[in-house]
């Protein structure tokens, strides 16, 4: 039986208490709603507050949470996913990661 393989896992806690966590797994078959072989959860926020998150929860497919708004995300590649996420985090942090 094929299993998910951790592809990338990193967590950073900023001095101001904000959290950036990126987890990506390579999966044997696409998550329901997605067409690629990756499952991911990219999070930026504070304890108890999701400010920004990119994920592909089963059934919902690729999408982005910006506070209480959810929109579709067009997945191209893992590299593009991480770049898009970090660019938004940088804007939220005033240009600094």
- How far apart are alpha carbons 4 and 23 in whole angstroms? 12
Task: Count CB-CB contacts under 10 A for residue 14.
Answer: 13
Mean pLDDT, rounded, of the chain? 95
**Maximum Cα–Cα distance across the chain:** 45
pLDDT tens digits, one per residue of 62-86:
999 999 999 999 999 999 999 999 9
Percentage with pLDDT > 90 across the chain: 89
Q: How much is the pTM? A: 0.93
What percentage of the chain's residues is helix, strand, coil (to nearest 5)? 15, 40, 40
Backbone angles phi, psi at 7, to 5 degrees: -100, -35
Query: How confident is the model at residue 58, as a pLDDT?
Result: 82
Rg (CA), the chain: 13
Query: What is the CA 48 to chain-centroid distance, rounded?
Result: 17
């Amino acid at each position: 039986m094929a299993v998910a393989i951790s592809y990338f896992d990193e967590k950073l806690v900023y001095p101001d208490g904000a959290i950036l966590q990126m987890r990506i797994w390579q999966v044997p078959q696409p998550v329901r709603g997605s067409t690629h072989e990756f499952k991911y959860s990219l999070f930026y926020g504070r304890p108890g507050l999701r400010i920004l998150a990119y994920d592909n929860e089963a059934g919902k497919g690729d999408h982005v949470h910006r506070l209480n708004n959810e929109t579709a995300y067009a997945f191209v590649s893992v590299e593009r996913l991480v770049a898009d996420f970090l660019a938004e985090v940088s804007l939220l942090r005033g240009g600094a990661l």
